[in-house]
Amino acid sequence: MFELEPKAYKKVTVLCLTGDVLIEDTQEFSRQLESHLFAPDVREVALDLSRTGRMDNAGLGVLVSASSKSRSRGRRLVLLSPAPHVTQLLKEVGIEEFFPMYESEDELQGHYNLTA
């Protein structure tokens, strides 16, 4: 089970993912993630993965699908502070270069000048 907590800023929405995203969670995860990605006036979503519990290949599949769909609509999904086990999974699957990634909130802040 997981929770997505949004923080809306002027240029980007940061979604904090807490908990597990396993095969049984993928349908709901996809629905919630896409509802944020395709909300009016949203151009970019940074998914904070620092508090992510377990994630399997199905969870990664949701990320790839959401990223592809968002690109086709002129939007972008970036990853923020992935937990070490998520980074390892991205590497094992060979898709670590697929996503733009920020290692810290400071790095994201420097790129976007986050203000509410």
CB atoms within 10 A of CB 17: 27
Q: Where are the domains of the chain?
A: 2-108
pLDDT digits (tens, 9 = 90+) for 28-43: 999 999 999 999 988 8
Q: What Cα–Cα distance (Å) separates residue 12 from each residue in 22, 56, 60?
A: 26, 26, 21
Query: In this prediction, what percent of the chain has a pLDDT beyond 90?
Result: 79
State pLDDT tens for residues 62-74: 999 999 999 999 9
Alpha carbon distance 87, 109 (integer Å): 21
Q: Does domain 2-108 have CATH number 3.30.750.24?
A: yes
| Residue 9 pLDDT | 84
* Residue 4: pLDDT over 70: yes
pLDDT for position 116: 52
Q: What is the pTM of this model?
A: 0.92
Q: Which run of H or of E encompasses 66?
A: helix 57-72
CA distance 100 to 30: 19
